Structure formats: C-alpha cells, structure tokens
Amino acid sequence: MKAFKKSITLMGLSGAFVAASAVAAYAAEAEAEGGGGGASALIPKMAEFIPAVLAFFIVFMVLSKFAWPAISDMLEKRADTIRESLEKAEAAKVEAERLLAEYKETMAEARKESATILAQAKQAAEATRTEATAKAQVEYDAMLTKAREAIVGEKNAAIAELQASVARISVAVAGKLIGSELSTEDHLKVVEKYVSEAGSINEN
C-alpha cells in the first residue's frame, strides 16, 4: 500500500514534468513542421508522446500491482527453497558420512569379533576332537585287552576240556587193550599225569 502511494506521488511529480516536456516538444514539433526536412523524425510527436507516457504509467501501475510482486516473491521463495535444500543435502551428506564411518567401525569390530569366535571355535573343536580320539583309543585298547583275555580264557577252557576228553578216551582204550581194568580213578590219575607232561612238552 505504501509503495502504491509512493507510486501515485511519483506519477504526480513525473506527470508535471512530462507535461512541461510535452509543451516544449510541441513547440519544437510545430517549428519543425514549418521547417520540414529529415530532422523532423527527431522531433517527438505529441500524438505519440502523450499516449506513450500514459501507456507506460498504466503498464507500470498494473504490473507493479499484479506481476512484479508475485514474480519477485516466487524468485525469492525459490532461491530460499534451493538454499535450504542445499543446506539439508549438505547436512544429510555429513550425516551419511558419519553413519558410514560408524558402520565401517562396527563392521571392523564385528569382523574382529567373528574372527576371535571362529578361532575359539576351531580351538574348541580341536580339543574336542583330540579328547574324543584319546577316549576312543582308550576304549579300543580296553576292548582289545578284554577280547584277548576272553580268547585266552576260551582257549584254556578248550584245552582243559580236550585234556579231559583225551584222558577219558585213553583210559577206555587202555582198558580194552590190556584187558584188566584199572580202577577208573587210577587210570585218570595216570592219564592226567601223562597229559600234563605232554602239555608241558607242547608248551615248551
């Protein structure tokens, strides 16, 4: 509104000056018209001067009211928006860089931690494996010993049984051969003695 009043004041002042100029130009124009010649093109014609001044003022008033403030505001608003956007982008970039650094640091720590965990796991696995192998070896040895003992036991039992069978058969055979029977107990004693001697010979 203030600018509008100023413009009105300006219009008044300028109008006075322009009117004075018009009078001067009109006098010159009349003189040139009398003199004629090409120089008349340089003399402003009143029929052009006055409409042009009025037209300019009208255009100035209209554009000052409706166009220039809107365009000027939009230019400033856009410049502000661009500036703000750039500032925001800059801040976002700084934040992104900070986050990236943080992320890299976290990643490095995680890698380090995972490497430690992996090493520990390997170590634990190795220990478990060693322990399991040792345990298996012990069990194997125990089983082997047991098996050997069982075999020896079985073997001794078989030998003992064989010895007993041989004695019995020998007594029977000897009895039939000599016709006289020894008492069974005597025969067994003889045979056992003989077999044990034979067995000791075999062992040797």
Residues that bind another protein (CB under 8 A): 3, 10, 13-14, 17-18, 21, 25-26, 29-30, 33, 41-53, 55-57, 59-60, 62-64, 66-68, 70-72, 74-75, 77-78, 81
Interatomic CA distance for residues 37 and 28, integer angstroms:
13
Nearer Cβ to another protein, position 29 or 171? 29
SS3 (DSSP) at 144: helix
Nearer Cβ to another protein, position 46 or 166? 46
Q: Which residue has the tokens 């006098």?
A: 27
Give the max Cα distance, the chain. 198
Closest approach of another protein to the CB of residue 62, in Å: 8
Nearer Cβ to another protein, position 3 or 160? 3
Interatomic CA distance for residues 139 and 69, integer angstroms:
100
Closest approach of another protein to the CB of residue 63, in Å: 5
Backbone angles phi, psi at 67, to 5 degrees: -100, -55
Residue 94 belongs to what H/E stretch?
helix 68-178
Nearer Cβ to another protein, position 53 or 174? 53
Closest approach of another protein to the CB of residue 91, in Å: 21
